Each structure stands twice: as C-alpha cells, then as structure tokens.
Chains A and B, each alone.
Chain A
C-alpha cells in the first residue's frame, strides 16, 4: 500500500513541476500554453544530448535543461505569446501551432536526417538516459524499501517548489507577479513593467518544465512526442487546483497523481487516466473556479 502511495507521490511530483509553469503563465498572464509539453520534451533532449556531447553526469543536465528550456520559453513568449495577451483562446491555438513546429523539428532533426547532421549515439526513436548508479536500486528508509530514483524526483520537486514559493512570496519580483495575477492593468499603473515581468515568468515556468523533462528521461524513453500528453495532464491539474493558486496546484497535483496510481493498481493504466479525466470534468462542472482558488474581488 505504501509503495503505491510512493509511486503516486513521484507521479504527482512530475505533474507538479509541469503544472507549476502552466499555473503561473495561465494565472498571471492569461495564456494557455499548449507548447509547454514540448518544452518538457526539450528538457529531456537536453539530458540526452548533454550526456552525448559533454559527457557530463545526469546531475549537470538539471541546471542545463532549466536554462535551455527557459531560453526556449523566453523566445516563444517574445515571438508569439506577447502579441496575444488578452486573447485567451488564440494563445491556445497559436501555441498549439508552436508545439507542432517544435515537435516536428525535433523529429526531423533527431529522428530522420533533415539537415544531414548525424550525432553519434543519437538515432531515430527512443533515447535512454543513464541514471547515476547511486539513484538505481532501492533505499531503506524506516524499514521501507523505496525506489531511489523516485525519491530523487520527489526531493528535486520539493526543492523547486520551495524555491518557487520563496520567489513568489518573499521577493519583490514575486510580489509583482502576484500583483499582475490579481489585476494586470492596475499593476501596470503602479509602475510594474508588465511586459518584462511576464517574459521572466514565462521563462521561469518553462525552466521548471525543462527540469521535469530531465526527470522523465530517467525512467521513460525520450521521443519527440514525450510531452504531448504532459500538457493535457498539466492543464487538468491547473484547472482542478484553481487559477493563480500555488497551494491549489500543489494539492491538485497530489490528488490527481495519487488517484492515478491507486486506480492504476486496482485496474489498469488506461482506466486510471480515464478516471482522472472524468474527475476533472466533474470538478469543472461543479466548481469551475477550482477546488482551492482564492476569492476574487
């Protein structure tokens, strides 16, 4: 029973890393970023490539992926999203186009030969990332045998969530972001550079997604469509948790991750996902503002 709970916790952790970025961009800027999943995938590819090119360890891939994904997010924000503020559904459609573009570019580059560049060790299809030996196997904590890698995922997520909380609630930048979430026009009137803060927030959220990608590369094959289901799951979390609520996102990812793990054990993986979708539809219908949202004035 406890090991099921633990699997659920590691699922929740990845969900949370993906959803945090979405929650911030959706809550703060009113942007539905469908390309978020592709940023996760880009993070996973950074892990693969840093192993091949730089011969560095898995741990180095974490900050690298954060930076690369943040840069990618920043470019997307500048080129596409920043032109669409205030047009919520259009951001959804445009970023869907961006996601198609990125996914296909990666598929052409690393799957087939597009520009004629061959990278040794990188062929078409699935890539595997070597997890450091100390993260393989199990660790004993208080008489429980827990998968070390899953533990590592939970740990990284806790650290990054704490960091996000610190930035959001203890720095002046975070205060600006929260002001924009509540009322962007009023925030701008108070002298906050909304454009700059938005770009930074978008990049930060993308960076978190990149780290989630590295985490996923450790236990899943890396392929160009790695991220397409992640963005849907991420949105389910954001909608369930309520807009612009950090606590809500944390609670919702815990809830959905655990439900997924429990139902998967009781039945199978397919039905587990189906139950999640049904639950999310119910939440939207019964409580459209989300389970844990703050009161809007």
Chain B
C-alpha cells in the first residue's frame, strides 16, 4: 500500500466517523440542516463520478435529483393530511381540487385528464422504487442515444443542460398534475415498517448519514473495478480504448446511470429531510452549483467532491448569519470558483493528493514523474488529429 492510498483510506474513515459523531454535539434543528448538506454531498459524489471519472460534464444533474424528489414527494403528498381530508374516501392532492373544473369528480382517477398518473403512488413503496428507477431509465435512454452517437465534450453538456430546462418547463406547465411553480408541499413523513422518519429527528439523520456512507464506499469500490479502469481510460482517450476492443459507450452509459441513481436517491432523501419538492431543483443554477461544489472539492476525487459540497454549504449557512455578508455570498462563491478553475483545476482534493505525492516521492525513483508530460502531449496530439 502506498502512502497516498493509506492516507486516502484514513481520510475516508475520518469523514465517516465525523458524520456519525455529529449528533453528539448538535441539536435536532441543527441535524436537519446538516442532513441537507449531506444530501448535497451525495450530489458531489455523483458529479465526481460522471465528471471526474467518466469525463462527462453533466450540466443537468438536477434533472435526476428532481425526478427522484418528485417521485417520492408524490407518494408522501398522497399520505399527507391535506390530501386525505378532501371529502373523498381516497386521497386527492389539495392543489388538484383548487383548480378542478366544476363538476369534476373528487377522485384521483379522473379529477383532471392526467391525474390517473398519481394512482400507483398511493403505495409508498411505488414512490420509493420509482425514485431510483425513473432517473436510471432516463439516464439509460439518454446515455444510449448520446454515447452510441459518440457525442462528447461540450455537446453532452449542452444536451443535458437543454434537457433539464426542458423538463423543468414541462413540469411548470403541467400545473394540474405537478403543482406547477409551487411544487409539492405539505408532505407527510416517510414511514417504513411503522417507523416514522420525522425530519427533525435523529432517526432521519442516521438514515441520511448511513446512505451517504454506503454511497461513498460503494462508489469508491466500483471505480476501482476493471470497468472503472476502462472508464477512466476512455475519459483520457476514447479512441485508443475503442481500438483495444472495448465498447466505450456501454461503460459510459453504465456509470452515467450510476450517477443518476445516486442523484435520484439524494433527491428522495432531500424530500424526506426538507419536506417539499419544487421545480427549482431543475434550475440551471442549481445544476451548475453542484459542479461548483465538486470543482472546489476536487473533481477527480469522490471524497473531495463530497466534502467540498458539504463545506461550501456549511460556509454559506454560517455566512448567512452575518448580515453584512448575506448579499456578498454569491459574489464570493463566484470568485472562489473562478480562482479554483484558474489556479487549482483539480480542487482541494487534487491539491492534497499532489502534496502527499511530493512528500512520498522525496528520495524515490523519479522516473515515474517523467512520464507525465509525455502522456499529456500524446493526448493533445490525438485530439487534434
């Protein structure tokens, strides 16, 4: 085991211990807040996986987050008191009644033209399953089309960007079914086997923290499999990997789907913690903000991106308590982002790895270092060919 690897392992262990130790020091209100940051940490992981490891800069990661969030929110909406007490024996979301046509039956099947889509969500398990399934299906379809066509670089980014904005517009436009601009509010708490996940409870925090830990470890493990190595090779030079006989699009699609699944789960956890789902999840600004977190933390480092997301949000929460800085926050984060891209392209995680590398290579064989610029030159050459 190299020094870098040992220290990385320590960092993971330290992080996991830290997030599980938080409830010892923080009250329930604070836990709810930190749980949200942990959810953002999961989005950081998803971005690091698709951007850092697969080389796919997804500017629409919010699409998968939003889909996951809406799927679970639909189930929780139907379970909420506001839906149950609408005078019908079956639940009906309140916003559907507000703009129902006069004379329309107060029933989910036919209160408006598309309300039957809500019927299966009366079972909470359906919402839970769809929260992962729908993002993955969308990602798979998109991936098959885009990567089979060998579309790469900025074009993938623009497609994902256009797609998230497209879905957001449709969501807002389909107000009778989706709640439009207001999104879904007044949700019930998630209930699994009789245990109710109250958002302001330790139980919910444990849930979020354990899923984050699982995701973190699992993602780290799959990028070290053979498939993960092929993926990273394809990121550096697609053509060569293709010449070696690998079906690059298959690997890209798979990891794109994994990132989508992580985002979908993050969306569901967010709904559990924050108790609303809104079209703002699919704003362009939110999707790009995720990329900012990952870039500052380190795009090529799963833990780095995760920690980056959590730290930036903690800083934001801290700063918003100082009145003079509230307005300046966005400008500060913009500046930090520009400086990171200019001077620290691999983020804080990359900086740490570099420092460890320099520390470890003192007095060692330096020939390995000499290879780096050569392979870099080879990459630029093939790209221009």
Contact = CB atoms under 8 A, between A and B. Distances in A.
B163 interface: yes
Contacts of A93: 291-292, 295, 337, 341
B172 interface: yes
Interface string A231-274: 01001100100000000000000000000000000001011011
B334 interface: yes
A285 B145 contact: yes
B335 to A, nearest CB: 6
A90 interface: yes
A149 B336 CA distance: 41
Contacts of A89: 57, 153-154, 157
B373 interface: no
A235 to B, nearest CB: 6
Interface string A85-116: 01111101110111111011101100010100
Interface in A265-289: 268, 270-271, 273-274, 277-278, 280-281, 284-285, 288
A80 interface: yes
Nearest to A111: B327
B173 A94 contact: no
A277 B331 contact: no
B214 interface: no
A90 B345 contact: yes
A185 to B, nearest CB: 8
Contacts of B333: 97, 100
B44 to A, nearest CB: 15
A274 B169 CA distance: 6
Interface residues of A, number: 42
B57 to A, nearest CB: 5
A295 interface: no
A84 interface: yes
B151 to A, nearest CB: 6
Given A236-B162, A239-B155, A285-B146, A99 B327 contact: no
A232 B337 contact: no
A32 interface: yes
Contact of B151 (A270, A273, A288): A288
B328 interface: yes
Nearest to B173: A270
Contacts of A235: 158
A221 to B, nearest CB: 19
The CB with the most chain B CB atoms within 10 A, among A87, A89, A268, is that of A89
B335 A277 contact: no
Nearest to B164: A277
Interface of B is mostly: helix
A284 B337 contact: no
Contacts of B337: 93-94, 96-97, 100
Contacts of B331: 100-101, 104-105, 108
Contacts of A97: 292, 333-338, 341
A196 interface: no
Interface residues on B, range: 35 or more
B338 A80 contact: yes
Nearest to B145: A285
A77 to B, nearest CB: 13
Nearest to A236: B162
A114 to B, nearest CB: 7
B162 A280 contact: yes
Contacts of A83: 342
Interface string A27-68: 000001000000000000000000000000000000000000
B159 interface: yes
Given A281-B166, A288-B149, A268 B158 contact: no
Contacts of B161: 232
A148 B86 CA distance: 53
B60 to A, nearest CB: 11
A271 B173 contact: yes
A263 to B, nearest CB: 12
A98 B334 contact: yes
B338 A94 contact: yes
Interface in B317-361: 327-328, 330-331, 333-338, 341-342, 345
Contacts of A228: 284-285
A101 B380 CA distance: 32
A274 B170 contact: yes
Nearest to B336: A97
B334 A277 contact: no
B155 A284 contact: yes
B288 interface: yes
Contacts of A239: 155, 158
Given A80-B338, A96-B288, A97-B335, A270 B153 contact: no
B159 A285 contact: yes
A88 B341 contact: no
The CB with the most chain B CB atoms within 10 A, among A93, A108, A112, is that of A93
Nearest to B291: A93
B165 interface: yes
A285 B154 CA distance: 13
Interface of A: 32, 80, 83-84, 86-90, 92-94, 96-101, 103-105, 107-108, 112, 114, 228, 232, 235-236, 239, 268, 270-271, 273-274, 277-278, 280-281, 284-285, 288
27 contacts: A88-B153, A88-B154, A92-B57, A93-B295, A94-B338, A94-B341, A97-B333, A97-B335, A97-B336, A100-B337, A103-B330, A104-B327, A104-B334, A108-B331, A232-B165, A236-B162, A270-B172, A274-B166, A274-B170, A277-B163, A280-B162, A281-B159, A284-B151, A284-B159, A285-B145, A285-B151, A285-B159
Interface of B: 57, 145-146, 149, 151, 153-155, 157-159, 161-163, 165-166, 169-170, 172-173, 284-285, 288, 291-292, 295, 327-328, 330-331, 333-338, 341-342, 345, 380
Q: Which 9 A-B pairs have the closest CB atoms?
A: A100-B334, A97-B337, A101-B334, A97-B338, A104-B331, A277-B166, A94-B341, A104-B330, A274-B169
Given A97-B334, A103-B330, 15 more contacts: A32-B154, A84-B341, A86-B380, A92-B154, A97-B341, A100-B330, A100-B333, A101-B331, A104-B330, A108-B328, A112-B327, A268-B173, A281-B162, A284-B158, A285-B149
